[in-house]
Chains A and B, each alone.
Chain A
Amino acid sequence: NAGVTQTPKFRVLKTGQSMTLLCAQDMNHEYMYWYRQDPGMGLRLIHYSVGEGTTAKGEVPDGYNVSRLKKQNFLLGLESAAPSQTSVYFCASSYPGGYNEQFFGPGTRLTVL
C-alpha cells in the first residue's frame, strides 16, 4: 500500500500560470481533503470531498477548484496562480463513519513568483 501520494513534490509557477495538483489514495477511502500550510502556521482546509463526484468548500476556497471524478483521486487546480498561494499543500483521506481518522500525503511545495 502506497497510502496517500501527491504529485508533484515541488513546483515553481509564475503569477497567472495555472496548474493541477494530484492526490491519489489506495485505501478505498471515501473522504478526501486538500489543505494548505503557510510558514509557521497550522493547516487550513481548502476543499474536501465526501465521495466520488462530490466536492465542498472549506475554510479558504478562493482561487482554487477541485474535482473528484474517481474515488481514488482528488485534484486541486489553480487557474491563475498568485504569490499569496505560495504554500505547502497537503492532501488527506479518511474512512467515513464514527472512525474518521485522516491520513496525510507527503505534501507539495508550491512557489509562485
Chain B
Amino acid sequence: GIQVEQSPPDLILQEGANSTLRCNFSDSVNNLQWFHQNPWGQLINLFYIPSGTKQNGRLSATTVATERYSLLYISSSQTTDSGVYFCAVELRGTYKYIFGTGTRLKVLA
C-alpha cells in the first residue's frame, strides 16, 4: 500500500524561528491535507492542498503532486504552534485518507 512519510519526526525551535516540514507519499493521490494536533488532542485543519501553493498568515504549504511531496512552512514560530503536524493523503480512486507519521514540534519561549 501507499507509504506516507513525514520529516523530521521531531523538531525543537526557538520562538521566532522558521521551519519546513515535509510529507512524501509513494503513489499518486487525489487530495492532501495538513493538520495541526494541539496539545489537547484537537485536530485543526490547516490546508487542503492537492496541488499548488497556499498561504494562511504565518503558514504556507506547497504540494508538487507529480513529484509526490508536500511542504509546510511555518514562519516566525510561536509557542502556540507546538504540537504534532500531520499530512493525510486521499488514495486515488477511493474515498480513504491515509495519515503520515507526523512531525512533533516544540517551540520554546
B45 contacts partner chain A, Cβ-Cβ < 8 Å: yes
Contact-residue size bin, chain A (C-beta under 8 Å from the other chain): 20 to 34
A90 to B43, CA, bound (A): 9
Which chain B residues lie closer than 8 Å to A44 at the CB level?
99
Contact indicator B97/A45 (Cβ below 8 Å): yes
The residue that B99 contacts in the complex, of A43, A88, A106, with Cβ under 8 A, is: A43
Contact B95 A100 (CB under 8 A): yes
Judge whether B41 and A107 touch: CB under 8 Å: yes
What class of interface size applies to chain B in its complex with A?
20 to 34
Contact partners of B102 in chain A: CB under 8 A = 41-42
Given A100-B31, A101-B48, A102-B88, decide whether A42 and B41 contact each other with a Cβ distance below 8 A: no
Q: Could you tell me if B95 and A45 are in contact, using CB atoms closer than 8 angstroms?
A: no
* Interfacial residues of chain A within 32-49, with CB under 8 A of chain B in the complex: 33, 35, 41-45, 48
Say whether B41 contacts A88, CB under 8 Å. yes
Q: Is the CB of B96 within 8 A of A102?
A: no
Q: Does A31 contact B (CB under 8 A)?
A: yes
Expressed in whole angstroms, the Cα–Cα distance for A103 and B97 within the complex equals 12
Q: How far is the CA of A107 from the CA of B43 in the complex (A)?
A: 9
Choose from B42, B86, B90 the contact partner of A43 (Cβ within 8 Å): B86
Is the pair A100, B90 in contact by a Cβ cutoff of 8 Å?
yes
| A interface residues with partner B (beta carbon < 8 Å) | 31, 33, 35, 41-45, 48, 50, 58-59, 88, 90, 96, 99-104, 106-107
Q: Mark B residues whose CB is within 8 Å of A.
A: 30-31, 33, 35, 41-43, 45, 48, 86, 88, 90, 95-102
